[in-house]
Structures are given as structure tokens and as C-alpha cells.
């Protein structure tokens, strides 16, 4: 009998399992695929260590993952990003992503800088919870804001929420993130050693504390007893556990939940709308690009980084590796993904040509799910399913449940809540 069984070895499942194992709970982590990491999985290819597309840590060393590492007695070293750049019509500007950036940028003139400052200050005065149902554009409309600043708001929403559509993105979610970025003075960082470090360190915490990880082990269903959760069926066997934490993507979680005869899960666990997109990783010969911050194109919205400039150990000597993401709205993903991929490659190729760099290889990536729940008004965090279910011992984590933030922070935040609940009980 395990004290906890975690279904899924992505960042959400690894977070829950490492917290529980470190606190002495005998835990079993089940992962259906042969590797850990889920949508943050990392591959090694010809001397390159490649994340699954652009992967940053919001708020750098103050982010939730470094905090979780402290809780499991480890330190996650994070490199802060350097100056970010905005590319519009072949021009390169300093991207104003914070107050200092607004003052320094060559993208805005003096009057526009003042307007942008005033706008950010007025946003910061708002209570984030009260604005969760407000689309960003509705808040801006009465202010008669110049197009250039509207474009900047689109970029900020794209960067922080991965939703550049400001008519859908939740202002409250955005305010929550901007407030944290201002409080910590850091927008984003990158883990030393890449996301491989995060996965490896959480894995070793689980194993070193006497808990277990089973790869290629798919949970078929969850079994309930008289007073709550009883265990998980894998193959033809029942593995018993006092607590079961579903840490899969939402499609699989809903499949598992629908089988449970308790209340109306169909009603409660409605499928969220994810963010989707296409991406490319590029291996570059030579070390000609010295950018250390975010690289952003406004229309179509693209964000990228030269990953190896943040950690040179991720590439063989004499090479660089860059990664770029173009978000697509969920409704358009199927019909638009191929054209978006072509457009992404064309824009980045043109930009690289101007820098006279040699492309060694390109890896094309299609993302039917980037973040499990897009932080849009119809499904802001308060409208999403709670990580603590009405069934005793049954929990749900992942980047689509009811926890504030975006991307992996939702999953890590949910796993922290689940850990506290299990510890208290
Ligand atoms: C291109 C891209 C860029 C991103 N950038 C960032 C970023 O910069 N910052 C950030 O914080 N986040 C980012 N994210 C989001 C981040 O990757 C996810 O939020 C996070 O990885 C989700 O983790 P998860 O555990 O919720 O789910 P997943 O990663 O989907 O993990 C679920 C796991 O469950 C396993 N599983 C499924 N069904 C079963 C079953 N029945 N039995 C056993 N195992 C099962 C799956 O194989 C998988 O390993 C990005 C995502 C993408 C795709």
C-alpha cells in the first residue's frame, strides 16, 4: 500500500511526487511513456541538449519551481535573461517589458513613454481578482490608447499569458503576473543545465527518498472504496494507495474521471481550451548571435531565445541553439498550423540571413497543447477545477486546474496545494 500514487510524470506529477517523497510519504509515480518530463521533456541530439520548445521560468529565481526546490532541500540555479528585443519591419528595438525598459526603449517617444507608464500604473492599481472576467481590450478601449501602445499590450499579453489576443485574455490573470514581476523585479529566467536539471533533480529526490517511479506504466482506471480512493489499475493489477493524484493532460484526466461513479464529473470537469502553437529549434554554426534576452516579433506574434547564450553547456563547442514559438488560437490550430510553420520559418530565416549565420539543422515542433488552460476570461483560474476533489484522497494537478499563473506554474502551484492538504490530513 502506497501513501500516494501519482499518475503522470510531467512537471505537475514530478512536483507532487518529489514534495511527498521528500516529506517521507511512500509514493509511486506512474508514467505511461518511457521518459519523464511530459511537455517539458528534453532530448539529447548530437551534442545538443534540447528543451521541448521555448521553456523559461517566470520570475526567475523567485519563480515557483525554485521555491519548490527549496522545499525539497535543493537549489535550482536560474540565469536571468538579458535585454529583450522587439523586431518590427526589419528594425530592432529594446523591448519595454518593465518600468526601466519603458524609460530606455527606442520603440516609444517621450509622450508614448509617459502614456505607457500611466497605463501600467493604472493597471497595477486594480485588484486582479476583480478583473478576472474582463478582457484586456475592454479595459483599454475607453482610454483611447495609440495603436503603438495597444501593440505593446498585445506583446505583454503574449509573453506573460501566451495569449496575444487581448479581446480574450483575462485582465485579472495579467495583472496578477505583472504585479509579481514588479514585486520581484524579474520577468523570467532560465534553469542552469536547461529543463533537464529540473526533471533529473525531482526524479532523484523521489528515488533517493525510497519512493518509486515506474515508466511505461499507464494507469487504466482509478478505483474507489467505501470511504474514498482505493487505488489505481495498471495492466490487470490493482495498486492500492491512500491518495491518488491525477497529473495527466486534461484529455486523459477527464477519461479517468468519467469512469468514476461519483457525482457528475462530466459537468464539473469540462475540457479547458489550451494554448496551441508551432515552434522551431535551430542549430547554428558559429557563435554570431549575442542576444541574451527574449526576441519578439509583433505580428505575427513570435517569441524566441538563443538558449545556448543562457547556458553554453547545452551545445557542442562552436555552435549555438535557438528556439522560437508562434502561438495560434486553439480554434484555428488544425487549419492554420502548416501555414503558421511556414511563416515562422520564413520570418526567422530572413532574420538569420541578416546576421549571416549558418543553419546546421532545424527541428519543427507542432504543439496541440502549449499550456493546458489558456488564461482567457471564460476559464480564468477561479473558474477551473479545484486540485482538491470532493472524493477523499483524490487530487488533480496539471497546468489546466484551478491555480493562478500560466504554464507550468499552474501545475506546480496545484501540486503545492495538494501537498499541504495531504500533509494536514
Ligand atoms: C512549446 C512549449 C513552451 C512552453 N513554455 C513554457 C514556459 O516557458 N514556462 C512554463 O512555465 N511553462 C511552459 N510550457 C508549459 C509547460 O511545459 C507545461 O505547463 C508543463 O510541462 C505541464 O506539465 P503537466 O505535468 O501539467 O502535464 P504534462 O507535461 O502533459 O504531463 C502529463 C504526463 O502524464 C503522462 N500520462 C498521461 N496519461 C497517463 C496515464 N494514463 N498513466 C500514466 N501516465 C500518463 C504523460 O505521458 C505525461 O508525461 C510550455 C509548453 C510548451 C509545449
Query: Which atom of ligand 1 is nearest the CA belonging to 398?
Result: 26
Indicate whether 267 pLDDT > 70: no
CA separation for the pair 83, 343 (Å, rounded)? 26
Examine the fold and report which residue of 169, 186, 203 is the final residue of a domain before the chain moves on: 186
Examine the fold and report which residue of 186, 208, 234 is the final residue of a domain before the chain moves on: 186
Indicate whether 261 pLDDT > 80: no
Check whether residue 302 and residue 339 sit in a common domain.
yes
Whether 47 and 320 have beta carbons less than 8 Å apart is answered as: no
Mean pLDDT of 115-137: 95
Pocket of ligand 1 (CB under 6 A): 7-13, 30-33, 38-40, 52-56, 218-219, 247-249, 252, 279, 325, 367, 370-372, 398-399, 407-409, 411
CATH, residue 17:
3.50.50.60
Check whether residue 281 and residue 356 sit in a common domain.
yes
CATH, residue 115:
1.10.405
Residue nearest to atom 51 of ligand 1 (CA): 370
- 22-48 pLDDT, tens digit per residue, is 999 999 999 999 999 999 999 999 999
Whether 221 and 257 have beta carbons less than 8 Å apart is answered as: no
Check whether residue 149 and residue 222 sit in a common domain.
no
Residue 31 resides in a domain: yes
Residue 105 resides in a domain: yes
**Any idea what the Cα angle at residue 297 is, between residues 98 and 330, rounded to 5°?**
100
Residue 80 resides in a domain: no
Strand partners, 296: 86, 303
Please tell me the predicted confidence (pLDDT) of residue 283.
Answer: 97
Indicate whether 269 pLDDT > 80: no
Virtual torsion, Cα 326, 331, 335, 340, nearest 10 deg: -10
Query: Which atom of ligand 1 is nearest the CA belonging to 397?
Result: 26
Indicate whether 258 pLDDT > 90: no
Check whether residue 277 and residue 360 sit in a common domain.
yes
Check whether residue 226 and residue 287 sit in a common domain.
no
* H or E stretch covering 45: strand 43-45
What is the distance in A from the centroid of ligand 1 to the CA of 125? Answer: 33
What is the distance in A from the centroid of ligand 1 to the CA of 374? Answer: 14
Indicate whether 266 pLDDT > 80: no
Q: Is 288 helix (H, G, I), strand (E, B) or coil?
A: coil
What is the residue-averaged pLDDT of the chain? 95
Check whether residue 261 and residue 381 sit in a common domain.
yes
Question: pTM value?
Answer: 0.97
Mean pLDDT of 216-243: 96
Please tell me the predicted confidence (pLDDT) of residue 90.
Answer: 86
Examine the fold and report which residue of 367, 384, 405 is the final residue of a domain before the chain moves on: 367
Number of H helices, E strands in the chain: 13, 19
Check whether residue 248 and residue 392 sit in a common domain.
yes
Mean pLDDT of 158-181: 96
Indicate whether 264 pLDDT > 60: no
Whether 163 and 309 have beta carbons less than 8 Å apart is answered as: no
| Full domain range(s) for residue 338 | 273-367
CA separation for the pair 317, 267 (Å, rounded)? 54
Residue 301 resides in a domain: yes
- State residue 223 phi and psi, 5-degree precision: -110, 135
Check whether residue 121 and residue 150 sit in a common domain.
yes
What is the distance in A from the centroid of ligand 1 to the CA of 13? Answer: 9
CA separation for the pair 33, 253 (Å, rounded)? 16
Q: DSSP letter for 271, please.
A: P
Residue nearest to atom 4 of ligand 1 (CA): 55
Number of domains in the chain: 3
Residue 77 resides in a domain: no
Residue 262 resides in a domain: yes
Check whether residue 263 and residue 383 sit in a common domain.
yes
What is the distance in A from the centroid of ligand 1 to the CA of 92? Answer: 33
Check whether residue 280 and residue 347 sit in a common domain.
yes
Q: How far is CA 74 from CA 19, 22, 189, 193, 287, in A?
A: 11, 11, 18, 15, 33
Please tell me the predicted confidence (pLDDT) of residue 259.
Answer: 84
Check whether residue 38 and residue 177 sit in a common domain.
no
Which are the contacts of 292, defined by CB distance < 8 A and separation ≥ 6?
A: 81, 82, 83, 306, 309, 310
Q: Which of 248, 279, 323, 384 gets mutated to test ligand 1 (max ligand atoms within 8 A of its CB)?
A: 248
Indicate whether 371 pLDDT > 90: yes
Q: How far is CA 26 from CA 211, 393, 425, in A?
A: 5, 15, 15
* H or E stretch covering 185: none
Q: In 299-385, which ranges are continuous DSSP H helix?
A: 307-310, 333-354
What is the distance in A from the centroid of ligand 1 to the CA of 9? Answer: 8
What is the distance in A from the centroid of ligand 1 to the CA of 229? Answer: 24
Q: Which of 5, 6, 7, 8 gets mutated to test ligand 1 (max ligand atoms within 8 A of its CB)?
A: 8
Amino acid at each position: 500500500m502506497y501513501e500516494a500514487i501519482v499518475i503522470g510524470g510531467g512537471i505537475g506529477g514530478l512536483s507532487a511526487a518529489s514534495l511527498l517523497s521528500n516529506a517521507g510519504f511512500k509514493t509511486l509515480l506512474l508514467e505511461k511513456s518511457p521518459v519523464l518530463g511530459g511537455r517539458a521533456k528534453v532530448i539529447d541530439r548530437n551534442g545538443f541538449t534540447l528543451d521541448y520548445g521555448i521553456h523559461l521560468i517566470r520570475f526567475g529565481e523567485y519563480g515557483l519551481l525554485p521555491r519548490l526546490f527549496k522545499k525539497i532541500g535543493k537549489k535550482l540555479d536560474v540565469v536571468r535573461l538579458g535585454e529583450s528585443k522587439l523586431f518590427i519591419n526589419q528594425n530592432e528595438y529594446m523591448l519595454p517589458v518593465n518600468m526601466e525598459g519603458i524609460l530606455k526603449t527606442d520603440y516609444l517617444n517621450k509622450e508614448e513613454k509617459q502614456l505607457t507608464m500611466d497605463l501600467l500604473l493604472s493597471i497595477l492599481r486594480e485588484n486582479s481578482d476583480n478583473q478576472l472576467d474582463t478582457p484586456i481590450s475592454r479595459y483599454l478601449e475607453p482610454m483611447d490608447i495609440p495603436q503603438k501602445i495597444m501593440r505593446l499590450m498585445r506583446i505583454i499579453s503574449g509573453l506573460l499569458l501566451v495569449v496575444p489576443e487581448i479581446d480574450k485574455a483575462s485582465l485579472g490573470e495579467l495583472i496578477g503576473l505583472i504585479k509579481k514581476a514588479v514585486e520581484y523585479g524579474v520577468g523570467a529566467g532560465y534553469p542552469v543545465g536547461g529543463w533537464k536539471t529540473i526533471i533529473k533533480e525531482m526524479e532523484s529526490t523521489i528515488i533517493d527518498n525510497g519512493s518509486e517511479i515506474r515508466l511505461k506504466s499507464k494507469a487504466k482506471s482509478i478505483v474507489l472504496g467505501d470511504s474514498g480512493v482505493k487505488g489505481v489499475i495498471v495492466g490487470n493489477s490493482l495498486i492500492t494507495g491512500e491518495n491518488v493524484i491525477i497529473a495527466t493532460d486534461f484529455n486523459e484526466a477527464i477519461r479517468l474521471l468519467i469512469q468514476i461513479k461519483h457525482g457528475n464529473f462530466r459537468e464539473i470537469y469540462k475540457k479547458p481550451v489550451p494554448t496551441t502553437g508551432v515552434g522551431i529549434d535551430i542549430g547554428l554554426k558559429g557563435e554570431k548571435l549575442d542576444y541574451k534576452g527574449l526576441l519578439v516579433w509583433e505580428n505575427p506574434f513570435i517569441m524566441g531565445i538563443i538558449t545556448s547564450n543562457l547556458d553554453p553547456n547545452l551545445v557542442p563547442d562552436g555552435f549555438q541553439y535557438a528556439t522560437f514559438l508562434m502561438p495560434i488560437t486553439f480554434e484555428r490550430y488544425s487549419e492554420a498550423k502548416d501555414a503558421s510553420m511556414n511563416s515562422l520559418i520564413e520570418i526567422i530565416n530572413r532574420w538569420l540571413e541578416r546576421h549571416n549565420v549558418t543553419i546546421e539543422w532545424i527541428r519543427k515542433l507542432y504543439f496541440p497543447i502549449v499550456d493546458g488552460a489558456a488564461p482567457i476570461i471564460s476559464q480564468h483560474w477561479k473558474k477551473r477545477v479545484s486540485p482538491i476533489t470532493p472524493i477523499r484522497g483524490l487530487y488533480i494537478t496539471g497546468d489546466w486546474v484551478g491555480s493562478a499563473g500560466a504554464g507550468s506554474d499552474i501545475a506546480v502551484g496545484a501540486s503545492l496545494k495538494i501537498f499541504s492538504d495531504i500533509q494536514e490530513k
